[in-house]
Structure 1
């Protein structure tokens, strides 16, 4: 028995060492100053799921390798993403169920053309694309008056079951403070720091230990490919205690899967709160639009929101607002949106920028490439060499980007690394651009300058570059 115990102990130690060394080697493969040879596969960031022709109008196209018959399912799913939902009861049974409280009438409202929605200007009321979560400064819990997410809009109903008009929960007005800084070469830059003012408290003051946290809706292309990355290929990058001493200590939020109740790593959402794309879509349906679905079956009315509950009871169908068949079509569409192709990557300027990307160490969090799970449920996105430039992990981004609250194991300063593929196309396709989790950055340059915490070294390196070098790095990021 003693021999067996010692053997097990030795094996645990050996396995632990292997994991630590494996993680270190994984990071060394793309470590500081190590620029890998250019691969022609970088021109197709979504592998064979990359769209061949670059659109100037929209990001919403099925991946080119999705079979024709499945593309029909894609466009059916897109109709539930695009078209506005209406309040129950309505003649249009497949599209009623809006609210009673909600943030937007359709997915497309926030994800315009599959990209991001229009951000607010100084002094404006936040548009639907900028939603707000209520976080607690002491623990992971919702606000007692408003729940986990602000619902500013409400359905308008005249029905005998209602004892008065239903009201949205309130509105947030956005203000920006200007911050002036300088590069080492003397060039000035200006950053915007947002401030939020909660107006029209229709259900009383929020809790004293609650705080508003902004979320600017992300682009949705390529989400299925991120869903198809194996968990072990992500976890090998986790280095919570920074054992390799490179200053980067990414971790993954651990969340309870809403379908099977198992504990999984969170890879979707700005804090990594959803483990799968299916759950992310279902969460957006119920929280943003008020559409009950096979994963989240209950309306989000709180006990004291009596008229919200009364309005929810008006629905004569007595079923889910979107049944499983239609929900699955919407998920399929979200899984198979094509990634736009890379552009001018082989130019001299882009190659210089690519070298700086690795030399500065941007790849420490923005992991360039993966091979998706060959056994993933959708053949078109299984076994693909992809270039998303993200580790999908949480990183401390510093005080400048921090909010005040906890989400599972994510602290206020920790944010999930966003993918960079196609990021330079936003203004070209949509006519406007904004970046980071709250849309404060008007340019990619500003987004880099907001990096702090674990990315402080990269921010300092960027500030110390010459203007020509900065332009080269930004050109590379704009082309991937």
Structure 2
């Protein structure tokens, strides 16, 4: 049995006895009151200022069974992939040397959230998380492909120059002598109908790159052009753990 020491002053004693008895009664007797009805306004408790949490799908989390001593290496690699490379000279030499031409400042800029890149939905936006490969017809015994004489084997769509950063402003015209990107590349989607053997028809879209503002000469019509979307990077460490002998077998 529980025992309580009630203070000797009558007023305090009566108050505590009342509160204690009331709490016992509340715990021991079921309540007859019903829950209030749900109001639709509760979905937006802050009115028009309410922000709804969004569940984000990401692929840059460590594996659930990754040993604790390896999580440090994982997060160090993730931090390196997220850190932007910067133009030299600067106060740090650990990640400088960007440019003057490049495609992205960070690894995650193309491998979005650890996943793959994407092509723009229409021709109003230039590509960012994809690459454009170019080469001449034929095959090089050492490198595999024959690079374009002016653009090499890959179009670089970014530049460290101020002219590139301000290309949408009139003042950029005064910086025309600065280093410019090799090109701005847009995607023109062409629809075509594909028919399966069972006569089922589906609409497919074929992406065609469109080069604008070529910085270093024209790209000949017979140049081989290919689109490369950045692949996902999760799981690549698991592939590296497979011995080459098992892969060859």
The residue correspondences of 1:79-158 to structure 2 (distance < 5 A) are 79-139=79-139, 140-156=145-161
The alignment of Structure 1 onto Structure 2 pairs a total of residues equal to: 178
The residue correspondences of 1:24-63 to structure 2 (distance < 5 A) are 56-63=56-63
The residue correspondences of 1:339-350 to structure 2 (distance < 5 A) are none
2:190 aligned with 1:177: yes
Deviation of 1:110 (Å)? 0.6
Q: Alpha carbons of 1:137 and 1:79: their partners in 2 closer, same or farther (altered >3 Å)?
A: same
Question: Which of 202, 206, 215 lines up with 1:193 in the alignment?
Answer: 206
2:248 corresponds to: 235
Q: Alpha carbons of 1:123 and 1:85: their partners in 2 closer, same or farther (altered >3 Å)?
A: same
Q: Alpha carbons of 1:227 and 1:126: their partners in 2 closer, same or farther (altered >3 Å)?
A: farther
Work out whether residues 138 and 209 of structure 1, in 8 Å CA contact, stay in contact via their aligned partners in 2: no
Q: Alpha carbons of 1:68 and 1:197: their partners in 2 closer, same or farther (altered >3 Å)?
A: same
CA distance in 1, matches of 2:113, 2:89: 29
The TM-score normalised by the length of structure 2 is 0.63
CA distance in 2, matches of 1:56, 1:170: 33
Deviation of 1:72 (Å)? 1.4
Q: Alpha carbons of 1:136 and 1:82: their partners in 2 closer, same or farther (altered >3 Å)?
A: same
The TM-score normalised by the length of structure 1 is 0.34
1:205 corresponds to: 218
1:43 corresponds to: none
Note the residue ranges of structure 2 that are not aligned, 5 or more in a row.
1-54, 140-144, 164-176
Q: Which has the larger radius of gyration?
A: 2
Q: Alpha carbons of 1:235 and 1:185: their partners in 2 closer, same or farther (altered >3 Å)?
A: same
Deviation of 1:203 (Å)? 0.8
Work out whether residues 86 and 98 of structure 1, in 8 Å CA contact, stay in contact via their aligned partners in 2: yes
Q: Deviations over 1:353-390 (max 9, x none)?
A: xxxxxxxxxxxxxxxxxxxxxxxxxxxxxxxxxxxxxx
CA distance in 2, matches of 1:132, 1:181: 26
Deviation of 1:86 (Å)? 1.7
Q: Look up the SS of the partner of 1:110 in the other structure.
A: coil
Deviation of 1:111 (Å)? 0.7
CA distance in 1, matches of 2:98, 2:225: 24
Deviation of 1:57 (Å)? 3.1
Deviation of 1:223 (Å)? 0.7
1:166 corresponds to: 179
CA distance in 1, matches of 2:77, 2:247: 29
Q: Look up the SS of the partner of 2:76 in the other structure.
A: helix
Q: Look up the SS of the partner of 1:109 in the other structure.
A: coil
CA distance in 1, matches of 2:208, 2:229: 14
CA distance in 1, matches of 2:207, 2:230: 16
Q: Look up the SS of the partner of 1:213 in the other structure.
A: strand
Write 1 or 2 for the structure with the bigger share of helix.
1
Q: Deviations over 1:22-55 (max 9, x none)?
A: xxxxxxxxxxxxxxxxxxxxxxxxxxxxxxxxx9
Question: Which of 226, 238, 241 lines up with 1:225 in the alignment?
Answer: 238
CA distance in 1, matches of 2:80, 2:237: 17
RMSD: 2.6
Note the residue ranges of structure 1 that are not aligned, 5 or more in a row.
1-54, 159-163, 237-480
Deviation of 1:157 (Å)? 6.3
Write 1 or 2 for the structure with the bigger share of strand.
2
